[in-house]
Chain A
Amino acid sequence: MKPTKELAFENLYKSHKDKIFRLCLGFVKDRDLAHDLFQEILIKLWKHLDSFRSESDISTWIYRVAYNTAISFSAKEKRQPMNTELPDGLDLVDPENSSHEKELQLQKLYEAINSLTETDRVIAMLLLENTPYKTIADVTGITENYVAVKVNRIKATLTQKLNPHGK
Chain B
Amino acid sequence: MENNFEDIQKLWQDQQPVNFDLKDLIAGMKKTEAKQRRELWFMAIITPLTIGFLFWSMPWRESLGIEISLYIIAIAMIWVVGLAIRSKISSNDSSERFTNSEYLKTQIKKLNYRYQIAKKHMYGYTVLLLIALNISYFVLLEPLETFTRIGIHLALTLAIATFMHWQMKKRVKKYDRELKPMIEQMKAMLAN
Chain A contacts to B: CB under 8 angstroms: 6, 9-10, 13, 17-18, 20-22, 25, 35, 38-39, 42-44, 46-48, 51-52, 61, 64-65, 67-69, 71-72, 75-76, 78-79, 92-94, 97, 102, 105-106, 109, 117-120, 122, 127-130, 138-142, 155-156, 158-159, 162-163
Contacts and interface: CB of A to CB of B under 8 A. Distances in A.
Max chain A Cβ within 10 angstroms of own Cβ: one of B17, B98, B182: B17
B11 A51 contact: no
B40 to A, nearest CB: 14
Given A51-B94, A141-B102, A159-B8, A93 B1 contact: no
Contacts of A47: 29, 33
Contacts of A118: 100, 189, 192
A64 B96 contact: yes
10 tightest Cβ-Cβ pairs between the two chains A and B: A141-B99, A21-B17, A117-B192, A68-B95, A118-B189, A128-B12, A75-B185, A68-B103, A79-B181, A141-B101
Contacts of A119: 100-101, 189, 192
B62 interface: no
Interface in B169-192: 178, 181-182, 185-186, 189, 192
Nearest to B187: A75
B104 interface: yes
Secondary structure of the B side of the interface? helix
Contact of B181 (A78, A93, A158): A78
